Structure 1
């Protein structure tokens, strides 16, 4: 399968050549063509929305078309195309549109100007306050409806949204600016407000990623970049850090390079690993938007054939919100087949997702949108994760960028082996008691490097309890379920599992108490209802 390398809104720019001359009837014809083709092209168009919601949106735009300008109509068409809510459905490709000359980046406390032409260097490193008087947070929120993204995963919005905020026709279509041809960007830097009156002058695709732009000032200044920013223009490359015995591989696209295949590159790299004193191998895919996942096999097989590397504490994978599509497939396989430790930020896609977009070209405007044509059940159907969360959190800040710090690589360099969540709980239970297990749970949760695994801790401990139960260790399982229920007092599932623990030990009264608490929390939890019926504590 060949995933779209970058799936983004392009309709506004593509429509400009003809849209100014389109009649109301022609726009309506495009709308109805889109509405007709979307259910035909998409694998499961109504997996997150109802047919009624879809047709209502179409009807609203049909009624509004006579009162809208071309940019507004085009934005609304693309919003409809993105309604299915999956990361491969919506506008596709990179538009040729000229954008306002600012490279914006989302940080923890706002949107910043990462780089700009030298004449606007006064704004570089500053926080964006507004565009034509509209607060930057509001503009950012408006772009969300145009970004193809999986439900609940903000990754692609965090990456693409700031770029869309520089596109004149998008801003005009979203009613942020009065014209696509000029805008005032207000920036706050060092306590001083700076207003930049800009006109579009750079192609949209140059504003993605981190490839330096000639003649632009950058927040990092002129100092040497961190390793991960050394060659952002390359598809893949490697280097060796002898002082740390780290072999670092950066893999920026699941694609063959012009003069080297993925298979040959990794074969060569792994040969080098065998010849060097390597303690840790780092695979950096934080900038990898995907590509062709049929190219992944040599990577996985090659790592498995490195027994000195494929073990806990020696193989690390850096991910980010950019890690998407075929790169998510790579993450899934690494998680399943290797002992890799993931570091950085969560990925930008569900672990299972829709993909392989089929293109729809609207007959009058020429707007192109893609509809995911396949469902990729990459791992078990029971796995409903909206992202792959790193075991070690390492969120980059603007200050890190300016100072050329890489918190992800730094975390790997300073990594010290620790028990994972399950092992730490199990050891505390076996050697101590429930209070010891609770203390281990709290200590693990309090460690900031575990920020992104907090949401999965309940499920992981629950799974551990059933694993012990299936091994006949009912007392240990009950202790684990007790720790989980105490740590998650509003979880019906944790109470339900606690009931199973008491049942396994024959404590009917306490099992009934737990099942009843589960039903109080969630009256729809069927397993607790069935257990109470089975125990004679509830009438069918």
Structure 2
């Protein structure tokens, strides 16, 4: 029964936060507040087992805080706020989909977290200068602070989960603005980069989410995209990223 109810909740969340895709009229503040209260009610009535890593009182307090803030927030800030609320449960598959917060575009980069920092693992060819560079700042914010700022939006279960799947939220201007990494919402974001001993600023425009070329958070090179990884030899675990889930070779 829990599985069935859980699927029902996910479906409800999907319909709730993709409502504007099917409707012509704008969702009002009161409707957003009703949606938030509906989510709260469903969680308490049908999914109390979600309260493992956070107390009900703490979660309810954050719900109430967002509820009161909604009249003063823009639509993208409300969506990011709702994503924070759901991500507080810290379960990877209990989430508002990434496409909801990234609907208005992402930076044309793919980031990867190595031991010594965050690097640009892949870019569109138009931005080849930035390929392989280490990210030092997002606008004026140090990279570590920027990572801490976006983490509450990511449905992470632990630090490794965030390193593997959370960096993509750092490429979404709506998330960066809602989490106060950047001062105003823009379709361009400037990163401070370091490459081959040189530190420089590079401004990226946004692209549609559908234009990304990656799978399992690694860039798939093609006519439009470059990867910093040498492609002369492909390790087995990267061999069929966008083709097969399971395979074997002798």
Give the TM-score taking structure 1 as reference length.
0.39
Structure 2 match to 1:235: 245
Whether 1:220 aligns to 2:204 is no
Structure 1 residues 51 and 237, CA, compared in 2 at 3 Å: closer, same or farther? closer
Structure 1 match to 2:206: 200
Whether 1:183 aligns to 2:193 is no
Structure with bigger gyration radius? 1
8 Å CA contact retained: 2:110, 2:122: yes
Find the residue that maps to 1:201 and give its secondary structure: coil
TM-superposed CA distance for 1:238, in Å, is 2.0
1:263-412 aligned at under 5 Å gives the runs: none
Aligned residues: 235
Most deviating of 153-162 and 91-100:
91-100
Distance (whole Å) between structure 2 residues aligned to residue 15 and residue 107 of structure 1 = 38
1:508-523 aligned at under 5 Å gives the runs: none
Whether 1:81 aligns to 2:89 is no
1:82-101 aligned at under 5 Å gives the runs: 82-92=87-97, 94-95=99-100, 97=103, 98-101=105-108
Find the residue that maps to 1:223 and give its secondary structure: coil
Structure 1 residues 40 and 27, CA, compared in 2 at 3 Å: closer, same or farther? same
Distance (whole Å) between structure 2 residues aligned to residue 154 and residue 162 of structure 1 = 12
8 Å CA contact retained: 1:19, 1:70: no
Which consecutive unaligned segments of at least 5 residues does structure 1 have?
241-540
More relative contact order, 1 or 2 (CA 8 Å, 6+ apart): 2
TM-superposed CA distance for 1:124, in Å, is 1.1
TM-superposed CA distance for 1:186, in Å, is 2.0
Structure 1 residues 202 and 237, CA, compared in 2 at 3 Å: closer, same or farther? farther
Which consecutive unaligned segments of at least 5 residues does structure 2 have?
none
TM-superposed CA distance for 1:163, in Å, is 0.9
8 Å CA contact retained: 1:105, 1:114: yes
Structure 2 match to 1:59: 64
8 Å CA contact retained: 1:82, 1:146: yes
Distance (whole Å) between structure 1 residues aligned to residue 197 and residue 18 of structure 2 = 40
RMSD of aligned residue pairs (Cα, Å): 3.2
CA deviation vs aligned residue, 1:366-424 (integer Å, no higher than 9, x gap): xxxxxxxxxxxxxxxxxxxxxxxxxxxxxxxxxxxxxxxxxxxxxxxxxxxxxxxxxxx
8 Å CA contact retained: 2:214, 2:220: no
Identify the match of residue 104 of structure 1 among 111, 115, 119.
111
Distance (whole Å) between structure 2 residues aligned to residue 87 and residue 218 of structure 1 = 27
Structure 2 match to 1:516: none
CA deviation vs aligned residue, 1:178-225 (integer Å, no higher than 9, x gap): 115221122111121232222221426644423514222221244232
Find the residue that maps to 2:171 and give its secondary structure: coil
TM-superposed CA distance for 1:136, in Å, is 1.7
